[in-house]
Amino acid sequence: MTSASDFFRQVRSSIREVSPKETDERRSAGAVLLDVREQVEWDAGFIPGAVHIPRGYLEQQIESLVPNRASEVILYCASGVRSAYGAATMSQLGYENVASMAGGINAWRALGLPVAQPAHLTPEQQQRYSRHLLIPEVGPAGQARLLESKVLLVGAGGLGSPAALYLAAAGVGTLGIVDFDLVDVSNLQRQVLHTTDRVGEPKVESAKRTIEALNPDVKVIATEAILGPDNVAGLIDGYDVIIDGTDTFDTRYLLNDAAVERGIPVVHASVYRFEGQLTTFVPYDGPCYRCLYPTPPPPELAPPCSLVGVLGVVPGIMGLLQANEALKLLLGIGETLKGRLLLFDALDGTFSELRLERDPACPACSDTAREARVGREALPLPIEVSR
Partner 1 sequence: MSRIVLPAILSADAGGAKSVDVDGRTVGALVDDLVARHPALGDRLRDADGGLHRFVNVYLNGEDVRYLAGLDTRVDADDEVRLLPAIAGG
Q: Which of 77, 291, 305, 362 is catalytic?
A: 305
Computed on alpha carbons and rounded to an integer, the radius of gyration of the chain in Å comes to 26
φ, ψ dihedrals at 34, nearest 5°: -115, 115
Cβ(370)–Cβ(281) below 8 Å? no
The phi and psi torsions of 223 (rounded to 5 degrees) equal -125, 115
Nearest to 156, CA basis, from 237, 233, 230, 247:
247
Rounded to an integer, what distance in angstroms lies between the CA atom of residue 374 and that of residue 370? Answer: 8
Give least dist CB 356 to partner 1, A.
7
> According to CB under 8 A, which residues from 307 to 346 bind partner 1?
308, 310, 315, 343
Whether 77 is catalytic is no
Q: Is 193 in the site for partner 1 (CB under 8 A)?
A: no
Distance CA 316, CA 281 (A): 20
136 or 309, CB closer to partner 1? 309
Neighbours of 170 (CB within 10 A): 23
* Residue 34 near partner 1 by CB under 8 A: no
Taking Cα atoms as reference points, which of 273, 294, 291, 284 lies closest to residue 355? 291
Pairwise CA distance, residues 172 & 151, whole Å: 7
Q: Which residue, 25 or 384, is less far from partner 1 as judged by CB?
A: 384
**Residues 132 to 171: which contact partner 1 by CB under 8 A?**
155, 157-160
Asked whether position 364 contacts partner 1 by CB under 8 A, the answer is no
Is 59 a residue that touches partner 1 (CB under 8 A)? no
The CB-of-324 to partner 1 minimum distance in angstroms stands at: 17
- Any contact of residue 247 with partner 1 (CB under 8 A)? yes
Q: Show the binding pattern over residues 82-121: x = contacts partner 1 (CB under 8 A), - = does not.
A: ----------------------------------------
Burial class (CB in 10 A: 0-12, 13-18, 19+), 231: middle
Question: If binding means CB under 8 A, how many residues of this protein chain bind partner 1?
Answer: 44
First to last CA, the chain: 92
Between 215 and 270, name the residue whose CB sits nearer to partner 1.
270
CB of 66 to partner 1, least distance (A): 36
Q: Which residues pair with 276 in a beta bridge?
A: 271, 344
Q: Work out which of 131, 355, 376, 387 binds partner 1, going by CB under 8 A.
A: 355
Q: Which of 10, 130, 186, 295 binds partner 1 (CB under 8 A)?
A: 295
Q: From the list 45, 78, 275, 320, which residue makes contact with partner 1 (rule: CB under 8 A)?
A: 275
Q: Binding to partner 1 by residue 248, rule CB under 8 A? A: yes
By CB under 8 A, tell whether 244 contacts partner 1.
yes
Closest to 52 (Cα-Cα) out of 41, 115, 135, 148 = 41
By beta-carbon proximity to partner 1, the closer residue of 270 and 336 is 270
Contact 240, 149 (CB under 8 A): yes
Closest to partner 1 by CB, 27 vs 290, is 290
CA distances from 286 to 236, 289, 291 (A): 20, 10, 9
Pick the piece of the chain touching partner 1 (CB under 8 A) from 118-126, 207-215, 302-310, 371-379.
Answer: 302-310
* 188: contact with partner 1 by CB under 8 A: no
Nearest by Cα to 167 from 133, 135, 210, 104: 210
Q: Which of 71, 69, 40 is closest to 54 using CA atoms?
A: 40
The contact set with partner 1 (CB under 8 A) reads 155, 157-160, 244-249, 252, 269-275, 277, 292-298, 301-302, 304-305, 308, 310, 315, 343, 348, 352-357, 359, 384
Residues labelled as active-site residues: 305
